[in-house]
């Protein structure tokens, strides 16, 4: 599979998701899919993905959402999974081996020249918050939609509304300095937390019938398992992992102990279950 050159407006993201974020996601793929699958499926339900439709899966990662979309559209439908991470797409291709109605493309969805009016649905599970220019990205994606086609995605609300990320982070900050705070609209997990901003982005792209559904879901950190597994997951993914990136081994041990203590109140027989907050956003090309 060819490597997407780290050039253009999203060069920094291409580098990150090929050299750092992507390999780590592949390692944790099963746990992440277990944790996030219900949120992606909720978006598919909200979008009423139907047999025979053509779906573009933006930021498809390791392919979990593309596989479920392919099941829903059936043999008469098609799914195109797009991502900038070669390592994640390689895992996706392995998982989709033998399926005729799904394929994957290594491309930047902000700039790639999709065939006009070639898809019925633009879908994403936490994959649309990383564009350097979301206005340009959604204008490009809207051109790929057939008239009447739909957009449906999920994105995180504010960090403060997501204890599954803040609790490990605050535990880590007992031992390490806080990481740099990005601007609210900088590319990253929380870039679409402001519904007013997102509504403007979609409207500027020529989309209408824009809706926001507030979701408050309980997520099983790392997909379930022991407290130790949840601690390990929190130290590899999310804001806590960024905070300890430069920490020495002894500090990392202290961070792990503090995160374990902070997560203990959330421990259930099914794993560490924690609150989350996200949006399901839908729109339509008229």
Any idea what DSSP says for residue 216? E
pTM of the model: 0.95
pLDDT tens-digit map of 82-97: 999 999 999 999 999 9
Residue 217 domain boundaries: 11-160+183-222+275-285
Residue 170 lies in a domain: no
* CATH code assigned at 194: 3.40.50.150
63-96 burial: b if 16+ Cβ within 10 Å, else e: bbbbbbbbebbeeebbbbbbbbbbbbbbbbbebb
Residue 231 lies in a domain: no
Instruction: Measure the CA–CA gap between 97 and 268, rounded to whole angstroms.
Output: 36
Residue 260 lies in a domain: no
What is the pLDDT at residue 2?
52
pLDDT tens-digit map of 209-244: 999 999 999 999 999 889 999 999 999 999 999 999
Residue 173 has phi, psi (to 5 degrees) of -70, -5
Q: How many domains is the chain built from?
A: 1
The predicted model gives 134-147 an average pLDDT of 98
pLDDT tens-digit map of 24-79: 999 999 999 999 999 999 999 999 999 999 999 999 999 999 999 999 999 999 99
What is the pLDDT at residue 182?
86
């Amino acid at each position: 599979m060819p490597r997407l050159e780290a050039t253009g407006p999203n060069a920094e993201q291409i580098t990150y998701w090929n050299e750092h974020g992507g390999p780590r996601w592949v390692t944790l793929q099963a746990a992440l899919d277990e944790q996030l699958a219900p949120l992606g499926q909720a978006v598919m339900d909200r979008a009423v993905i139907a047999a025979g439709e053509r779906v573009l899966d933006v930021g498809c990662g390791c392919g979990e959402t593309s596989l479920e979309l392919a099941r829903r559209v059936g043999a008469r439908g098609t799914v195109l999974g797009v991502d900038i991470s070669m390592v994640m797409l390689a895992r996706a291709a392995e998982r989709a081996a033998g399926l005729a109605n799904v394929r994957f493309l290594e491309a930047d969805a902000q700039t790639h020249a999709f065939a006009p009016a070639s898809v019925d649905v633009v879908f994403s599970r936490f994959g649309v918050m990383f564009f350097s220019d979301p206005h340009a990205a959604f204008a490009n994606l809207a051109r790929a939609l057939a008239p009447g086609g739909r957009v449906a995605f999920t994105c995180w609300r504010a960090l403060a509304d997501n204890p599954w990320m803040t609790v490990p982070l605050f535990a880590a900050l007992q031992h390490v300095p806080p990481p740099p705070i990005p601007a609210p609209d900088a590319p990253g997990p929380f870039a679409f937390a402001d519904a007013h901003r997102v509504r403007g982005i979609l409207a500027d792209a020529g989309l209408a019938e824009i809706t926001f559904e507030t979701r408050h879901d309980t997520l099983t950190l790392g997909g379930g398992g022991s407290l130790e597994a949840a601690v390990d997951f929190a130290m590899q993914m999310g804001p806590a992992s960024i905070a300890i990136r430069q920490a020495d081994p002894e500090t990392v041990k202290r961070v792990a102990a503090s995160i374990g203590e902070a997560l203990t109140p959330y421990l259930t027989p099914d794993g560490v279950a924690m609150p989350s907050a996200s949006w399901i956003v839908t729109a339509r090309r008229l």
